[in-house]
Amino acid sequence: MKIDGHGLTIGQTVAAASREGSEFAVSGDALRAMNASRNLKLEILATGKPIYGVTTGFGDSVNRQISPEKTARLQNELIRYHLNGTGPLASDEVVRATLLIRANCLARGNSGVSLPVVDLLLEFLRHDVLPAIPERGSVGASGDLVPLCYLAHALTGQGTVRHRGELRPTADVLAELGLVPVTLEAKDGLALINGTSFSSAFAVLNTEAAAELAEVADVCTALASEGMLGNRGHYAPFIHDEKPHSGQGASAALIHELLEGSALAMTYDQVVDLNLPLDGRHYQKLTRSIQDRYSLRCAPHVNGVLRDMLDWVRTWMTVEINSSSDNPLFDPSTGAVYSGGNFYGGHVVTAMDALKTAVAGVADLLDRQVALLVDEKFNNGLTPNLIARVADDDTEAGLQHGFKGMQIACSALTAEALKHAGPASTFSRSTEAHNQDKVSMAPIAARDARDVIELTREVAAIHLLAACQAVELRGVEEMSPRTRAVHTRIRKEVPFAAKDRQMDDDIAAVVEMISSGAVTEAARRGVDL
């Protein structure tokens, strides 16, 4: 697959991150553009004119110029003094995505880098040589300086990489693979670290994970509606056509389709007809409510926000991973060099701040649905805490507590997701002698979004377990074909909770089903009843 800094997609990046596609090369047009900008860099360098970060110091040291013969060493010093990251190492998926995105941005041909830099980035991806990159230490100002320095350090044959599941010295791994470390020339180091590629890697992976959760949330709502003997008329097309947000409409349509044929969650007319006619009486209490609580009735309005947000987040991130995001940039058509701020992660941080808020809102929605399912005051005749039905004189009577503990855990996970939902972009700090006096905080927002997604996935897992317990108490034969398929899939690995038991492994199993797409696949397929 060819890269040129213009056509890389989110799907290709996600596939590369999971090792489904890691064979990339630079296109011919991109090679010519890269050569042209590098030649311009060398021409300007030969004139003795100052070029930011090439013959000058960095940041507030811009007013200190060095001679051309010192430029290569300056690039190595730049990398060395940023090797101060902390925290856990970034996941393999994030590092792979970072390698591809950085190579693609440099292949756009404005950065003046030498060709071996991009070639070795792609060789790292091809051979799964993954620089050990600490997650913390970047404010997303002049790009992701600290984390990308670990990537640049590895390209020079130094530091540590993860290869075949082991952390090893980079030099040893490159020697085994017959790969030659790059020798940095003027601007190469700055081009490698001056960009949003690390933040963007998190953001791209978050985007696709959130999209999977959006569909799972609709599946959860359909199952909860059946467990609660809900009114599927709330998802009728007429309602949502009259408030035509596309995400809301898509969410409502999916829930409506999932519930087609259900004898548990009935149509509006069916629910109304379950109640006796007034027959001249002035008052009666309905035997079946004709309207559900907000967490069921308004689910498309909550999840629809996430769906709609994903549309513009994908647009923004596609632009970001196909941009020249370093500084300075070279224009061979005019012979000019430009200093600017394309490394600033403003679009990434705003996208991730918004995304994590929407995902946390979905966690809160699902948590409220679980609270209804387990509470005998509100669950329309289900057992307290979804315990198995037992006679009052049974020896087990009064001993079992069912999903009481699961609801507590669900609430805790939701609270943590909501805690992370605050906007990181508002916490700008002035750094680097007030040169970086307004910073984006993009990597922090992107990591927060990752955490919110993981927490919400766990909330969804608990929800699915509770909802499956509920519909089993109602009668699986009354479910719709598509929700029944989800129930069947979950029951392949997690049995009905007939008695209290440890359930952390159950949660982990369903989390894996969500992550792998098994839940949504079952919902799409349905069963032939």
**Res 430: pLDDT:** 62
Centroid of chain to Cα 429: 25
pLDDT digits (tens, 9 = 90+) for 122-138: 999 999 999 999 999 88
Residue ranges of the alpha helices (H) in 401-503? 404-419, 442-474, 481-491
**Res 21: pLDDT:** 72
pLDDT digits (tens, 9 = 90+) for 184-195: 998 899 899 999
Whole-model pTM: value is 0.94
Calculate the dihedral angle through the C-alpha atoms of 22, 156, 140, 11, rounding to the nearest 10 degrees: 0
Q: Are 33 and 112 in contact (CB under 8 A)?
A: no
Q: Averaged over 363-388, what is the pLDDT? A: 94
Phi, psi of 111 (to 5 degrees): -95, -10
pLDDT digits (tens, 9 = 90+) for 380-420: 999 999 988 877 767 777 777 889 999 999 999 999 999 99
443 vs 63, more confident: 443
**Res 529: pLDDT:** 42
Look at residue 528 and tell me whether its pLDDT is greater than 80: no
pLDDT digits (tens, 9 = 90+) for 70-79: 777 878 888 8
CA distance 405 to 294: 24
Q: Averaged over 440-457, what is the pLDDT? A: 94
pLDDT digits (tens, 9 = 90+) for 234-282: 999 999 999 999 999 999 999 999 999 999 998 888 888 888 888 888 8
Phi, psi of 393 (to 5 degrees): -95, 5
**338 has catalytic annotation:** no
**Res 436: pLDDT:** 59
Domains, the chain: 2-195 (1.10.275.10), 205-265+294-326+334-525 (1.20.200.10)
Least confident of 46-60, 244-258, 275-289, 327-341: 46-60
The set of long-range contacts for 24-27, using a CB threshold of 8 Å and a minimum separation of 24, is 24/100, 24/103, 24/122, 24/125, 24/126, 25/1, 25/122, 26/2, 26/103, 26/107, 26/115, 26/118, 26/119, 26/122, 27/2, 27/3, 27/107
Residue 225 tokens, joined: 């509606």
Number of other CB atoms surrounding residue 191 within 10 Å? 32
Percent of the chain with pLDDT over 90: 74
User: DSSP assignment, residue 361?
Assistant: H
Q: Any idea which residue has 């370093």 for tokens?
A: 326
Confidence of residue 428 (pLDDT cuts 50, 70, 90): low
Q: Any idea which residue has 């010519």 for tokens?
A: 32
Which entry of 52, 150, 235, 344 is annotated as an active-site residue? 52
Residue 144, helix vs strand vs coil: coil
**Res 235: pLDDT:** 97
Look at residue 92 and tell me whether its pLDDT is greater than 70: yes
**Mean predicted lDDT score pLDDT of the chain:** 92
Helix 71-80 crosses helix 145-155 at what angle (to 10 degrees)? Answer: 120
Confidence of residue 432 (pLDDT cuts 50, 70, 90): low
pLDDT digits (tens, 9 = 90+) for 273-326: 888 888 888 888 888 888 999 999 999 999 999 999 999 999 999 999 999 999
Look at residue 435 and tell me whether its pLDDT is greater than 60: no
